[in-house]
Amino acid sequence: MGKVGFSVARRPTIIDVARLAGVSKATVARVINGQPEVVRLETRERVLEAAAQLGYERNAIAGSLRTNQTDMVVLSLPDITNPFWPEVARGVQDTLEGYGFATVTVNSDWSREREQRYLQLVRRHRFDGLIINPAGISNDDLKALNIPVVTLGGGDNYPDFDAVGSDTEQGVEDILTHLLELGHQRIGLIAGQSRRQKGETRSQGYIMFHARHRLYLDDRLIVKTDFHDQAGYEAMMYLLGLDEPPTAVFAANDILAIGALKAAHASERRVPDDVSIVGMDDIYAAAVTSPPLTTVAKPKYEIGVKAAELLVESLRVKEHSQPQHIKLPCYLVKRGTTAPPPTQKST
């Protein structure tokens, strides 16, 4: 079968394929839309050859109107520039791709208004599901979508949906215990300003740790700031400028900790000889700072994988059971920025 005498200047349609193959439009539709078993092998091969010659591709939008499924999922992240999120996104995409779904990633930039626009996009384009780290939208906003949703994080504000996050509380406990065992009792906290509806887990964990271990809680050692390295730098400068500065500083994430490390160098404080610094997340840069940063590693890729698996389960089962709120374990990574406090070394 040749192409002589047959040309299509516009985008080929199912009618063009049927004409070239010498079959009905319905027969082409059965082959293209996944019902080849009802078409004879010889006819099926003729249809596929015609489609290949014309460069025909199935119209996914038209197909979704028939099946009510687009095989597309939206992943909404709060800050795509934060090195934490690409690994999560990779876990989501790798997993969904294995199930035949495409992933569309959007960046809310911690804006509720942008999130609302993305929810409209999800409804308008009939996406099958949503994985989201919410910035400001409510549980009711997500329920109104009427599609499967998985939230990234603890999920406390979203009781009707599956949630996947890390055990941040245990991570805070582990990092502060490490500092206490080294001999630190005056520990500063650079706490990123919480953009969520509930309190910040790291700050709460820090306060509770002091209470459990009967450590004096000096409010001057708690600095709340934005989540970027310059904010970490400025917060560390403030802490180092106190009459009695901390011997160790816990930064709420590695970006803040890297800023704190820069401030220590600028102030000619040796890390960890003069002051210890710890972070959280274990982004790639944490291993290549000077000295390498002690931190709590979060299972970023695994969070993405589990979130995608839960979403696929919801898409397949339709009638979902009680929502699952899953916290994957963190673990302490000891590197070069922690040591006993200077007073302890001299005794």
Q: Quick check: is 259 in a domain?
A: yes
User: Domain check: are 337 and 217 in the same one?
Assistant: yes
Q: Quick check: is 142 in a domain?
A: yes
Lowest average pLDDT, out of 49-53, 67-71, 87-91, 136-140, goes to: 67-71
Q: Quick check: is 5 in a domain?
A: no
User: Domain check: are 22 and 76 in the same one?
Assistant: no
Q: Please give the C-alpha separations between residue 210 and each of 86, 176, 186, 192, 257, in angstroms, as whole numbers.
A: 34, 9, 10, 19, 21
Q: Quick check: is 9 in a domain?
A: no
Q: Please give the C-alpha separations between residue 130 and each of 106, 114, 135, in angstroms, as whole numbers.
A: 11, 15, 14
Could you read off the pLDDT of 197-222 as tens digits, one per residue?
444 789 999 999 999 999 999 999 99
pLDDT at 7: 47
pTM of the complete model: 0.80
Lowest average pLDDT, out of 10-14, 84-88, 328-332, goes to: 10-14
Q: What percent of the chain has pLDDT over 70?
A: 88
User: Domain check: are 223 and 317 in the same one?
Assistant: no
User: Domain check: are 250 and 161 in the same one?
Assistant: no
Q: Quick check: is 63 in a domain?
A: no
In contact, 189 and 222? CB cutoff 8 Å: yes
User: Domain check: are 95 and 134 in the same one?
Assistant: yes
Number of domains in the chain: 3
Integer Cα distance of 44 and 342 in angstroms: 79
* CATH number for 32: 1.10.260.40
Residues 317-330 have a mean pLDDT of 85
User: Domain check: are 146 and 178 in the same one?
Assistant: no
Integer Cα distance of 153 and 36 in angstroms: 43
Integer Cα distance of 17 and 38 in angstroms: 18
For residue 131, what are the domain limits? 70-166+300-328
Asked if the model's pLDDT at residue 2 lies above 80, the reply is: no
Q: Which of 305, 281, 311 is nearest to 293 (CA)?
A: 281
Integer Cα distance of 67 and 59 in angstroms: 12
pLDDT at 35: 63
Categorize the per-residue pLDDT at 321 as very low, low, confident or very high, splitting at 50, 70 and 90.
Answer: confident
Average pLDDT value over all residues in the chain: 88
User: Domain check: are 44 and 154 in the same one?
Assistant: no
Could you read off the pLDDT of 247-299 as tens digits, one per residue?
999 999 999 999 999 999 999 999 999 999 999 999 999 999 999 999 999 99
